[in-house]
Chains A and B, each alone.
Chain A
């Protein structure tokens, strides 16, 4: 079937079985390998993407489900000219990324958190990132980076 959706602000149309995982379509058909597979069962958050602004594990979504919807991956977080967002810069500055494999998902979860909460507390940041596992940082530097973006 043909599936049409918006990916990082650009309309895309792909031919695929509707039951394929969105994760695989993004990585294999559309070259968006910034979205990672960590567990394939919705536990780790490495494959997080935003669908209409909600954080979703793309390993649990069939591509047919995103017909007509807005999908944002980590590749869509920077400005079109490549300039990193404030959050991405904060991740670098605060040492919030070590091995980097959880970073795309973590950035998207943090992005939504900052959009939805004007003054998040430490606890609400922890809660907002609880679906995204990181094994390198102990989360401390990630939380600091997110809080640094609160104006």
Chain B
């Protein structure tokens, strides 16, 4: 057997194993980094798309409800707390605390009615709740907008 045919001298086991592990770790880390980058990018894109779609659906629904009840003088109405609150324009007159509370209450009443409708409450139940919680005696407008007009 010529020297070339001789099997190469086995390297010490620990060295061999350590090198192999190092190679495996390096390859794994590269692959993981690539997977993480891809996954993060994909997750971020998916999340952004999902949020945008959810915001759009909720905003459209609540805007439709709000407009039907109280048509805006100009511009689009903000859905209650589900979309960012717009900062007041510098030339806008400051609203009184009472007016602000009233506006919040109105938005709250609509959200209450929507959530109750979505969770399966009847027209009568929502009406009773609006009466007790918001002292709204005639809730027909809100209810018609959410549930459709009564037959």
Same complex for A and B? Answer: no
Which A residues fall within an 8 A CB radius of B? none
